[in-house]
Amino acid sequence: MTAILEAHALGMQYGRRRALTDCTLNIPPGHVVGLVGPNGAGKSTLLKLACGLLNPTSGSITVLGETPGSGREQLARVGFLAQDAPVYPHLSVADHLRLGAHLNPRWDQDFAERRVAQLGLDPTQKAGKLSGGQRAQLALTVAAGKRPELLLLDEPVASLDPLARREFLKHLMESVADNDTSVVLSSHLISDLERVCDYLIVLVSSRVRLAGEVDEVTAAHHRIVCTRREPDALPAGLQVISAEHTDRQSTFVVRSDTPLPVGDWAAEPLGMEDLVLTYMENADSSLRPATRDAEVAR
């Protein structure tokens, strides 16, 4: 299977600032990928590299087996929705669909018109008069209407209220199901990602810290509580992601790619939010770049 996105030692630098460092990924098709990390981690840069808006300063990236933005045919296979969900305020909803049909050779007018009707949008309404949620839905309709094989979404729900976010994600998943599209969705809202994503990438300080299928990476991580000890006193094969200590007690978040060994501790699994926050909080102190082979999808 051709990866939807494959990167090897990918780097991007703006002057003296590194936006991505030694990024290696191999994302298989058929996933809704959650891309998460703090501001400045490199999420938007990675998405812009993937859609051909930027060229890397080091390493390589391919999308759907081709160089991003390498030609009209490749561009037709990838949809991109930027963070501010851009629309043309002086064009009507119907004008946006006509523009989409003019610019995209794979455009599905029936799908786009059906989505507009489902959303209750007036085709004659100017985009500038729509609410923020409606503009985001219109932008998603145009991005999905080109029938892309891969849809890249950069913080598309950041400015929406909770109800509008839920509606956006609902229609996103309907579009994915209708079009058999793979998705990479960047967001700070981990609770939203938990509802829709089955693959996770954590970017911190310009580096990939974790990547893999959600079920697999969550199953590999545990929080263990035990009498106070140093990390090197734990059994071999446990990678310590974080460590906290009191006078008598230690709490570790550990990764083990084999079943957790029996020990004199209490253990519990981590949910996605705890997992992501642990990697973000401990990026500098406890992580080596690209945890083992975690950044490489099976």
Give the per-residue pLDDT at 284. 59
Which residue range(s) make up the domain with 35?
A: 5-213
**How high is the mean pLDDT of the chain?**
89
Task: Based on the fold, state whether residues 84 and 178 are members of the same structural domain.
Answer: yes
Helices (H) then strands (E): counts for the chain: 10, 13
Q: What's the CA gap between 200 and 210, in Å, rounded?
A: 8
CATH of the domain at 97: 3.40.50.300
Task: Based on the fold, state whether residues 143 and 261 are members of the same structural domain.
Answer: no
Cβ–Cβ < 8 Å for 127, 92: yes
Task: Based on the fold, state whether residues 61 and 196 are members of the same structural domain.
Answer: yes
Cβ–Cβ < 8 Å for 222, 270: yes
Query: With 90 as the cut, is the pLDDT of residue 127 above it?
Result: yes
Task: Based on the fold, state whether residues 132 and 53 are members of the same structural domain.
Answer: yes
For the chain, what is the domain count?
Answer: 2
Give the per-residue pLDDT at 286. 40
Give the per-residue pLDDT at 33. 96
Pair type for strands 182-186 and 32-36: parallel
Task: Based on the fold, state whether residues 248 and 200 are members of the same structural domain.
Answer: no
Q: What's the CA gap between 227 and 206, in Å, rounded?
A: 35
Task: Based on the fold, state whether residues 158 and 88 are members of the same structural domain.
Answer: yes
Query: With 80 as the cut, is the pLDDT of residue 297 above it?
Result: no
**DSSP H or E segment with residue 266:** strand 266-269
Please identify, among 192, 213, 234, the residue that sits at the C-terminal boundary of a domain: 213
Please identify, among 213, 246, 278, the residue that sits at the C-terminal boundary of a domain: 213
What's the CA angle centered on 194, arms 189 and 52, to 5 degrees? 65
- pTM of the complete model beyond 0.85: yes
Task: Based on the fold, state whether residues 206 and 94 are members of the same structural domain.
Answer: yes
Task: Tell whether 292 is covered by a domain.
Answer: no
Rounded to 10 degrees, the C-alpha dihedral 35/107/104/5 comes to 30
**Residues 92-119: tens digit of each pLDDT:** 999 999 999 999 999 999 999 999 998 8
Pick from 69, 80, 71, 256: nearest CA to 181:
80
Please identify, among 151, 180, 213, the residue that sits at the C-terminal boundary of a domain: 213
Task: Tell whether 228 is covered by a domain.
Answer: yes
Give the per-residue pLDDT at 293. 33
